[in-house]
Structure formats: C-alpha cells, structure tokens
A and B are shown apart, each in its own frame.
Chain A
C-alpha cells in the first residue's frame, strides 16, 4: 500500500527552483535512500514532505489524504516525522524536555521517553542536561528520539551522519536499524553511498532538482549511481528515469 505519494512537486526559493517536477511513491514499510550532490534538492524535498517548506506547485499525499497545504505540526499528528538537517534541538531544554515536548497526544504507540532512552542508552546519563551541552552523536540521538516520540508512520531522516565520527555514525545506524526492524517507513538522505545502498531497499538519485535515477538498491550497480550522482552521461541517466 502506498503511504506517501509525491506528485509533480515543485519547490522554489524566490527565483531559485530547488525541486523540479519530482514524482515518486513510497510503500508502507519501505526504506528509501535519497542521494545526490549538495544542492540537488534533497533537503528541500524532505522539508516539503514534512510541511516545513511550502511547495510552489504539485501535491503531497500521505495515507490517502492530500496534505500539500497542511502545516507541519498537523502532519506530525498524522504520522510524519522529520529529523532535520543540523539536528535543530532546543538548546536550553534538557534531553528529557526535548523528548517530552515532541510527544503527540493522539498518537499512542511504543515510543515514549522510557523506550527512547532504552533505544539510545548513551542518553540515559544525560537526560537532565541541556541539549546544548551534548556531543554531536548524543545530539543526533536526541534528534532521532525526538522524532520517534510522535510514533510516526513515516520517518524522514536528513543527513543523520553529517559531522559525526565514523564510529558514532555506526552507533546511530545501529540504533536506527532497530527502529527500521519495527516496520517503520523511512526516507533518508545520506551522503555515504555504500551505507545508503546497504540500509535502503530503494534508491532515488537527484540531480539539480530532478530525479535522474531510481530503482532497487540491489539492481542498481554503484557505477550507474555514481554517474547519476555527478550528472555524467546525462542523456543515459535521463532515459533511465523516463
């Protein structure tokens, strides 16, 4: 069953067109990796799905309903959660307050402060500490935990590994894996291609605001993805997306 449907989405910042006529669907339980160079429009696309960016044209349908005009906080109560680029924690709030503030009344489920702290044991000793005093990895764990607090049916993860030491990235992905195993639907933006291909079932490659290549991560070989990523052999890539 299709959980998310993006139809001819067009996002702009003034005259700059960041996302150009992007369409794709995500089925329940799918893990989709969005890859592409800086400025390809990945973050804007995620923000438009979450409701943080108002699209210029096109539609976003979630769980059968058109949510294109719905503000971000209403989408959270429908089950969309974004882990934003740069984490965007509330620095003066403690870890626990950062989590509690994100709890949504009408979405009961397995995730609460206790289960999030169980999933990210590194946060346990930090729960009374302001988020500003945490390390990068701990902050990322809070950002993911905060998104989980609404018991989302769709998780949008924007560059969760950015600025983290490789060993911390491993730890973050290990805890993410347990979330994924619970059957969550995830769209993630990841710069590390190997990791993206390993975690995701499907890969969508963007270039200059357009989808240039998509397919099962198993059926796509690295070469083609890299070509699409850098915009090499653009005509060939164009055929692949058509």
Chain B
C-alpha cells in the first residue's frame, strides 16, 4: 500500500514538474533557446501573485488570474527586447543572456522582498490541505488532483492549439524552418514572441503551484529549473507530450526513491535523468568513438 501511495504522490509531484517544464519545452522546441531564467520567471510569477494577494487581500487563485496577463506581456516583451536580439548572434548567446537574466531577476527579487521565505499556501484557502482518505495508508490531496488536472488541460490545450489553429500551424512551421516560414508570409519574430509569452505564462503557473505546495524565496528558481530541465530531457527535447511524461517519470523516481531512503528522493530523480542521457546520447557517442 505504501508503494501505491508513493506512485500516486509521484504522479502528482510529476504533474507539477511537467507544468514547470512545459514553457522550457516550448522555448526549446520553437526557438532552440535553453532558457536558464525559466525557474526565476516562475518564481517572479509567484512573487507577483504574492504582491497581489497582500495588496488586494484576494485568494491566491484570483491573484494569479490577475498576474497571468501581466506575465504574458512580460514574456512577449522579453522576447522582443532581449532574446530576439540575442538569437541573432548564434545559439550560445541566448544561453548567456538567460543566465544573466536569471541573476538579474534573483537580485531584483532580493532587493524588493528580502531573502525571507514565503508561501501562498495560506491564501489558497482550505483547499490546500483538503484530501480524500481512501484507506489508512492512501490519501489523495485535492491540490495534487488540481495540479494533475491543470497539467493535462495545459498540455491538451497546447496540443489543440498547435494542431488546429492557424497560429499553431505557424508556430510549428516556424519551429521547423524559420526562413521558409518567413517566405510563406509568417512573421517569425511575432511567432517567437508569442511562444515566449505562452512559455512565461505557464512558468508562472508552475510558480503558483510551487508557492502553494511549499515555500519560495528569491533564489528558488535554479532548483526548479533543474527539475524542469530534467523533465524536458527525460521526455525528449522539444516534445510536448514527452515533457508531461518526463515530468511524471521524474516525480515517480523521486517518490519511489524516497521509499528506499528519505535522502534518496532527489538523487533518484537525478539518476533517472542521467541514465536517460546515457541511454539516448552517451551510448551512441561511445560506440562512435570505439568505431573510430
């Protein structure tokens, strides 16, 4: 029964990682940008929600609904002002630009909010702690179910957007061949800006879940980035559904690892990530080298 419980909790945790990883996957899939500031953008979203909660006294979910459009616009502007320019200088420059952006966001948050640890758990209502006790050893938390449902809705909506809308086709076309897309009349810069806006908005959704599930501080971003990055790699770079599967696989590895030993949790996730890396890339390179 504890094993079943670990699996259920692993899926819930994994859905959270998948939401965090979703934007990272979009930005890599569409623009080949590895956004090292992704975790910090998620935390920034959490802080924005926190400010609205404090200022307006509304619940965390209402506050997030107000923060979401702000984060969308922020993502759009980020692409137009920083990332778009850095993309012109090759693939390495966006990596450095987002690395710098990560430091800038963390320090601005430190200045504005101090290093104090915060949480939105209290302002999300009784919902945060509600659960269904199925048996003595298995309980399903309402928040876990919410995160899972939202994750499936987010990935499903993105899939529908990419498959059935003109803007979605334009995004896939631009991802495959930006120059050919320009030639057929697609404004690739606008597509990139839209993709980044969506990615940042979903990142802030991940930030909201982080803030409700546990606590956050100005330097929480990089840890979240690592989990998100691992989810993307486990699921296959640039594949949307793969990212959802990868996130859940990472969550399962962590909760199952914790069954062996409490300290083994995060390590088990890293080991899964490393073994996927070796299986997918390392092995191939190794045989190539031997062949030479």
Q: Is B169 an interface residue (CB 8 A)?
A: yes
Other contacts beyond A90-B172, A100-B166: 7, CB < 8 A: A52-B182, A52-B183, A73-B181, A76-B184, A77-B185, A90-B176, A93-B169
Q: Is B173 an interface residue (CB 8 A)?
A: yes
CB within 8 Å for A146 and B184 given contacts A90-B177, A100-B166, A101-B166: yes
Contact of B172 among A73, A93, A102, A149 (CB under 8 A): A93
B residues at A contact (CB < 8 Å): 166, 169-170, 172-173, 176-177, 179-188
CB within 8 Å for A104 and B183 given contacts A91-B176, A92-B176, A93-B173: no
CB distance from B141 to the nearest CB of A (A): 38
Q: Which residue of B lies closest to A84 (CB)?
A: B183
Contact (Cβ within 8 A) B173 A101: yes
Contact (Cβ within 8 A) A102 B182: no
Contact (Cβ within 8 A) B184 A147: yes
Q: Is A51 an interface residue (CB 8 A)?
A: yes
Contact residues in A for B187 (Cβ distance below 8 Å): 71, 73
A residues at B contact (CB < 8 Å): 50-52, 71-73, 76-77, 81-82, 84, 88-93, 97-98, 100-104, 146-147, 149-150
Contact residues in A for B188 (Cβ distance below 8 Å): 73
Contact (Cβ within 8 A) B177 A51: no
CB within 8 Å for A101 and B179 given contacts A93-B169, A93-B172: no
Contact residues in B for A92 (Cβ distance below 8 Å): 172, 176
Query: A73–B181 Cα gap in the complex (Å)?
Result: 8
Query: A81–B182 Cα gap in the complex (Å)?
Result: 11
Contact (Cβ within 8 A) B183 A82: yes
Contact residues in A for B172 (Cβ distance below 8 Å): 90, 92-93, 97
17 sampled A-B residue pairs with Cβ under 8 A: A51-B182, A52-B182, A71-B182, A72-B182, A73-B181, A73-B185, A73-B186, A81-B184, A84-B180, A88-B183, A90-B176, A91-B176, A92-B172, A101-B170, A102-B184, A146-B184, A150-B184
- Pick the most buried of A92, A98, A101, A102: most chain B CB atoms within 10 A of its CB: A101
Q: Which residue of A lies closest to B170 (CB)?
A: A101
Contact residues in A for B173 (Cβ distance below 8 Å): 90, 93, 98, 101
Query: A73–B189 Cα gap in the complex (Å)?
Result: 10
Contact residues in A for B185 (Cβ distance below 8 Å): 73, 76-77, 102, 104, 150
9 interchain residue pairs of minimum CB distance: A76-B185, A102-B184, A88-B180, A72-B182, A101-B169, A90-B173, A90-B176, A73-B187, A104-B185
Query: A77–B181 Cα gap in the complex (Å)?
Result: 13
Query: A51–B184 Cα gap in the complex (Å)?
Result: 11
Contact (Cβ within 8 A) A73 B176: no
Contact residues in B for A103 (Cβ distance below 8 Å): 166
Contact (Cβ within 8 A) B166 A50: no
Contact of A73 among B166, B169, B177, B182 (CB under 8 A): B182
Contact residues in B for A77 (Cβ distance below 8 Å): 185
CB distance from B206 to the nearest CB of A (A): 27
Contact residues in A for B180 (Cβ distance below 8 Å): 84, 88-90
CB distance from A102 to the nearest CB of B (A): 4
CB distance from B90 to the nearest CB of A (A): 15
- Pick the most buried of B169, B176, B187: most chain A CB atoms within 10 A of its CB: B169
Contact (Cβ within 8 A) B183 A100: no
